């Protein structure tokens, strides 16, 4: 297959050189952090498929691309252009980054309820860097993650969401990263920091989108810190263009009795890799990982999740579902670590896949590492097809083949979308999923 090229070679990539072009901030802790991140990236290099964590995902096409910094590519975006995107207007406050830089004209964050701040990372670093220092780089460790090191060394802007202790914020906040560049392959390193104080509650939507179909790289890092009894409902939508590369890490640290519900929805992109992880670092902390990936044509999508149960009485619930068509490939690697202290852990994981063609492929692997003796851990993986018998049943009731397929696909993905509480987003996502699959099935065999 054409996308399996040679091994990644960091020396061929210009990503490290681009990182050196980023201006010094003058903030001592940040400049030190960036410097060590760049060192680390140069040492690690881009991951190769010889590494266990990257065995089925080859980033050679990224190494082989000469990137331009997105922020240097110009590319102003009008409100009308933005609004034309299916997932841009969700009817809630939003902060927009275009080509890696804050776009105040496109952002709508006025009139936020008290208790929540939504700001550009660059602005916070200019005005109050000390406030974010304790949280920055805390959960997104880069010692053994090359792309996180690269992001840390290279990011130019991003979003900071701060929720004050005790604040109950009902309105979701939308952080939208948009790439709009024509003719050149651009790279941006979106960086999102979310800090939810003790007893506070908030709802966040992160989305990654593009205008135009060109090649680009989103190398994103999202860090979440949840205080005691804090709650965050967190939807991450990756809806990149057909030639895009998306590498993302979403990491959270959870204090006692906190609850993180993370929905990871992945459409589009030629190559997407998501590392989702949480450390359940206090008793009674709860994590829900709810994932959906659709891959068609020759797309490749890889989800690696790691849940670390560090303390007793922490439940975790993980369901990842995927639909693959064409020659698409997907990887699901779900790791659950139960540390010796973490008695009474209750961890459930499942990965269900629907393969619509003979050439689609899924690599699925649960990885349980249990060092405590009084725990409940279950996992399971399924791989199936659209059932002929189910299709016939629907058709025998007058429902046409295309609609019958769409109903079955809707049924399969419904389990994931039903858990997304914000109606406008859920409806858009379900619509988008059906559009993608209808286009794919329509272009497939005729019957």
Partner 1 sequence: MLEIKDLRASAEGKPILKGIDLAINKGEVHALMGPNGSGKSTLAGVLAGREAFEVTGGQVLYQGADLLELSPEDRARAGLFLAFQYPVEIPGVSNLYFLKAAVNAVRKHRGDDELDAMDFMELVRKKTGVVKIDEALLHRSVNEGFSGGEKKRNEIFQMALLEPALAVLDETDSGLDIDALKIVAEGVNSLRSPERSVLVVTHYQRLLNYIVPDFVHVLVDGRIVRSGGRELALELEEKGYGWLEAEVGATNG
Residues of this chain that interact with partner 1 (CB under 8 A) are 387-390, 392-401, 403-404, 407-408, 410-412, 414-415
End-to-end CA distance of the chain: 28
Name the residue nearer to partner 1 (CB basis): 232 or 429: 429
Q: Positive or negative CA dihedral for 254, 138, 135, 301?
A: negative
Name the residue nearer to partner 1 (CB basis): 112 or 407: 407
Q: In the bound complex, what is the minimum distance in angstroms from residue 20's beta carbon to partner 1?
A: 50
> What's the distance, CA 178 to chain centroid?
14
Name the residue nearer to partner 1 (CB basis): 339 or 352: 352
Cα separation, 365 vs 166, whole angstroms: 39
- Residue 20 burial (10 A CB sphere; 0-12, 13-18, 19+): exposed
**Contact by Cβ (8 Å): 241, 210:** yes
* Continuous segment of H or E residues that includes residue 365: strand 361-370
Cα separation, 213 vs 211, whole angstroms: 7
Q: In the bound complex, what is the minimum distance in angstroms from residue 395's beta carbon to partner 1?
A: 4
CA–CA distances in Å: residue 118 to residues 28, 88, 139, 231, 420? 24, 17, 20, 17, 22
Name the residue nearer to partner 1 (CB basis): 320 or 412: 412
Q: In the bound complex, what is the minimum distance in angstroms from residue 61's beta carbon to partner 1?
A: 35
Cα separation, 7 vs 396, whole angstroms: 51
Name the residue nearer to partner 1 (CB basis): 358 or 388: 388
Name the residue nearer to partner 1 (CB basis): 64 or 402: 402
Q: In the bound complex, what is the minimum distance in angstroms from residue 265's beta carbon to partner 1?
A: 17
Q: In the bound complex, what is the minimum distance in angstroms from residue 392's beta carbon to partner 1?
A: 6
Q: In the bound complex, what is the minimum distance in angstroms from residue 447's beta carbon to partner 1?
A: 8
Q: In the bound complex, what is the minimum distance in angstroms from residue 255's beta carbon to partner 1?
A: 35
Q: In the bound complex, what is the minimum distance in angstroms from residue 334's beta carbon to partner 1?
A: 21
Q: Positive or negative CA dihedral for 303, 321, 364, 225?
A: positive
Of 305, 303, 320, nearest in space to 382 by CA: 320
Of 220, 236, 344, nearest in space to 280 by CA: 344
Tell me the Ramachandran region of residue 45: left when phi exceeds 0, alpha when psi lies from -120 to 50, beta otherwise.
left
Name the residue nearer to partner 1 (CB basis): 180 or 324: 324
Cα separation, 16 vs 39, whole angstroms: 9
Q: In the bound complex, what is the minimum distance in angstroms from residue 234's beta carbon to partner 1?
A: 24
φ, ψ dihedrals at 187, nearest 5°: -125, 140
Name the residue nearer to partner 1 (CB basis): 24 or 397: 397
Q: In the bound complex, what is the minimum distance in angstroms from residue 410's beta carbon to partner 1?
A: 7
Name the residue nearer to partner 1 (CB basis): 31 or 415: 415
Name the residue nearer to partner 1 (CB basis): 372 or 391: 391
**Contact by Cβ (8 Å): 310, 435:** no
Q: Positive or negative CA dihedral for 422, 424, 430, 432?
A: negative
Name the residue nearer to partner 1 (CB basis): 256 or 405: 405
Cα separation, 262 vs 277, whole angstroms: 10
Give me the torsion for CA of 42, 44, 50, 56, rounded to 10°: -90
Query: H-type helices in 244-376, by residue range?
Result: none
């Amino acid at each position: 297959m054409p996308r399996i090229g040679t091994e990644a070679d960091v020396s061929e990539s210009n990503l490290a050189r681009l990182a050196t072009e980023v201006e010094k901030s003058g903030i001592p802790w940040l400049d030190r952090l960036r410097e060590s991140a760049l060192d680390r990236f140069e040492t690690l290099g881009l991951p190769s498929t010889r590494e266990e964590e990257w065995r089925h995902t080859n980033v050679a096409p990224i190494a082989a691309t000469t990137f331009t910094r997105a922020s240097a590519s110009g590319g102003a975006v009008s409100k009308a252009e933005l609004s034309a995107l299916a997932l841009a207007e969700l009817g809630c406050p939003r902060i927009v980054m275009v080509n890696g830089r804050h776009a105040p004209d496109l952002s709508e964050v006025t009139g936020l309820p008290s208790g929540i701040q939504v700001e550009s990372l660059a602005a916070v670093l200019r005005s109050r860097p000390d406030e974010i220092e304790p949280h920055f780089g805390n959960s997104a460790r880069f010692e053994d993650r090359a792309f996180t090191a690269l992001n840390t060394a290279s990011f130019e802007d991003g979003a900071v969401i701060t929720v004050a202790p005790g604040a109950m914020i009902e309105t979701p906040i939308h952080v939208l990263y948009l790439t709009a560049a024509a003719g050149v392959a651009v790279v941006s390193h979106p960086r999102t920091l979310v800090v939810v104080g003790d007893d506070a509650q908030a709802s966040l939507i992160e989305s990654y989108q593009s205008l135009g179909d060109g090649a680009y790289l989103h190398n994103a890092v999202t860090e979440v810190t949840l205080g005691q009894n804090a709650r965050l409902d967190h939807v991450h939508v990756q809806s990149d263009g057909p030639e895009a590369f998306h590498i993302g890490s979403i990491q959270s640290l959870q204090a006692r009795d906190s609850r993180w519900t993370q929905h990871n929805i992945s459409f589009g992109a030629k190559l997407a890799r998501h590392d989702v992880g949480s450390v359940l670092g206090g008793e009674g902390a709860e994590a829900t990982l709810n994932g959906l990936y659709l891959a068609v044509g020759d797309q490749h999508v890889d989800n690696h999740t790691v849940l670390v149960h560090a303390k007793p009485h922490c439940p975790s619930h993980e369901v990842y579902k995927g639909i693959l068509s064409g020659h698409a490939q997907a990887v699901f690697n779900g790791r659950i670590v139960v540390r010796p202290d973490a008695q009474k852990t209750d961890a459930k994981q499942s990965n269900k896949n629907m393969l619509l063609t003979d050439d689609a492929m899924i690599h699925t692997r649960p990885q349980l590492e249990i060092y405590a003796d009084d725990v409940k851990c279950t996992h399971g993986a399924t791989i199936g097809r659209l059932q002929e018998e189910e299709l016939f049943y629907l058709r025998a009731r007058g429902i046409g083949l295309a609609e019958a397929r769409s109903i079955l696909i809707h049924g399969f993905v419904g389990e994931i979308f039903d858990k997304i509480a914000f109606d406008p987003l859920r409806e858009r996502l379900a619509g988008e999923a059906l559009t993608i699959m209808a286009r794919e099935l329509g272009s497939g065999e005729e019957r």
